[in-house]
């Protein structure tokens, strides 16, 4: 099973914060030799508000450029609502008396 190391997480944060998702994910793939499943796993570690449909969008991305799946521009649009989690330990949402924290 693939493990998202601190190095991968740091590079992913930098790439996905400064490039559209398709560019950042492709650069991660090239640097760390990752496939779409692993890229989706990295994305869940880096984006703070990622949901299952976002993971599925990466899985269904036309990463190879063979005309099957979401083209880069479509993937970028599908993931445009995501934001990169700030540096530091990942904080899980916790319930408190006023709602979700």
pLDDT tens column, 17-53: 999 999 999 999 999 999 999 999 999 999 988 999 9
Q: Tell which residue, 97, 95, 91, 72, has the closest CA to residue 20.
A: 72
Supply the pTM of this predicted model.
0.81
Would you place residue 89 in the very low, low, confident or very high pLDDT band (cuts 50, 70, 90)? Answer: low
Would you place residue 2 in the very low, low, confident or very high pLDDT band (cuts 50, 70, 90)? Answer: confident
- Report the alpha-carbon distance of residue 80 to residue 54 in Å, rounded: 10
- Stretch 49-69: mean pLDDT: 94
- Report the alpha-carbon distance of residue 17 to residue 2 in Å, rounded: 22
- Specify whether the CB–CB gap between 12 and 51 falls below 8 A: no
Q: Tell which residue, 101, 50, 37, has the closest CA to residue 79.
A: 50
Domain ranges for the chain: 6-81
- Report the alpha-carbon distance of residue 68 to residue 41 in Å, rounded: 21
């Amino acid at each position: 099973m693939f493990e998202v190391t601190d190095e991968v997480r740091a590079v992913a944060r930098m790439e996905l914060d400064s490039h559209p998702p398709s560019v950042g994910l492709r650069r991660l793939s090239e640097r760390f030799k990752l496939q779409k499943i692993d890229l989706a796993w990295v994305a869940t570690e880096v984006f703070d508000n990622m949901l299952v449909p976002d993971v599925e969008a990466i899985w269904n991305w036309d990463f190879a450029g063979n005309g099957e799946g979401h083209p880069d521009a479509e993937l970028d649009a599908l993931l445009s609502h995501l934001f990169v989690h700030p540096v530091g330990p990942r904080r899980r949402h916790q319930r408190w008396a006023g709602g979700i924290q």
